[in-house]
Amino acid sequence: MAAAETISTAASAEVKAKIDPFAHVVDSHHLEFLPTAKFGIDGLELFGLPLKFMILMTVSAIIVGVSMIWLGAKMRSGEPPRGKLWNLIESLLFFVRDKIARPGVGEHDANTFLPYLTTLFLFIFVMNLIGLIPFLGSPTASIMVTGALAVVSFFVIHISGVKSNGVGGYLKTFIPHIELEGGMVMKVMGFVITFGMAILEYATAFIRAGVLAVRLFANMLAGHTVLFMILFFIALVSDPAYQIPIAKGQDWLYWCVMPFSVALVTALSLLELFIAGLQAFIFTFLTAVFIGLAKHPPH
């Protein structure tokens, strides 16, 4: 009896592990191309650490690097762009300049931050897009990847603020100016409110970076998880390993679920394509806006 229970528990745990919706989205030691046929690449690890995201991130960086170096070689002549690829990459560069850097940082300083913002945008965008290739994954679905990028943005934002306003001047920009008319009580109250709001403002400087990281990571993770789960419905009703009661002996259910899942995943993949660009845009645009606010604080 106890042995049967142990076996049952073990099987249940195995099934639960198989149903883990994040297993195919997060970093791992292997790439599964056709899981049912046991076809994939195993052993993607170094010192026991999974390398899938590192490899995909490196590929993204190489794509961005090669594209921009190629673009530089083409643009050096000063000739107008020719060909689809040249136009495509250059339009992305000008998109960052005209829609992100100039509105966010300001006309005067936009060109100074254009290399950083363009690299950031393209790096995130390519990593997001790589996640849409079947069997691969998006490194931006890891909070540590987006967090690292947010940390870089954090330093760029505040260092540019300090360079523009000086250390003391920049720290003072976080303190709101509240003037309360009246006696000593009102003055004390004004000081307390100012102090509280300043604490919030200083916290906001860190929260902003955290929000940048969480927004990108959560969107990419959730998007890919939803895609996986909708496709997983097919396995859920057709694979006996999962043993869901409603699917037992109901082969017709496969033919109902399969087309629905495929159609929905196709539609959502198109949406994910849009979100890949949108999230890269939001991350970069907010970085540009924060740089602009740090350099030219509102009075």
Contacting residues toward another protein, per CB under 8 A? 22, 25-27, 49, 53-54, 57-58, 61, 64-65, 68-69, 71-80, 93, 115-116, 119-120, 123, 139, 142-145, 147-149, 151-152, 175, 191, 194-195, 198-199, 217, 221
Give whichever of 39 and 202 is closer to another protein, judged by the CB atom: 202
Give whichever of 57 and 231 is closer to another protein, judged by the CB atom: 57
Residue with tokens 């001047």: 169
Shortest reach from residue 110's CB to another protein, in Å: 13
Q: On the CB side of 83, how many CA atoms lie within 13 Å of its CA?
A: 7
Query: Beta-carbon neighbour count of residue 238 at 10 Å?
Result: 16
Shortest reach from residue 278's CB to another protein, in Å: 21
For helices 110-130 and 252-295, the axis angle rounded to 10 degrees is: 170
Tokens of 82: 């020719």
Q: Which amino acid is at 15?
A: V
Give whichever of 113 and 257 is closer to another protein, judged by the CB atom: 113
Shortest reach from residue 27's CB to another protein, in Å: 6
Tokens of 282: 């939001």
Phi, psi angle pair for 109, to nearest 5°: -100, 0
Give whichever of 10 and 144 is closer to another protein, judged by the CB atom: 144
Taking phi over 0 as left and psi of -120 to 50 as alpha, with beta for the rest, 69 belongs to alpha
Shortest reach from residue 51's CB to another protein, in Å: 9
Q: How many residues does the chain have?
A: 299
Contacts of 165 (CB under 8 A, 6+ apart): 173, 295, 297
- Of the chain, the end-to-end C-alpha distance in Å amounts to 75
Tokens of 81: 């762009």
Give whichever of 153 and 261 is closer to another protein, judged by the CB atom: 153
Give whichever of 139 and 161 is closer to another protein, judged by the CB atom: 139
Shortest reach from residue 269's CB to another protein, in Å: 21
Shortest reach from residue 243's CB to another protein, in Å: 24
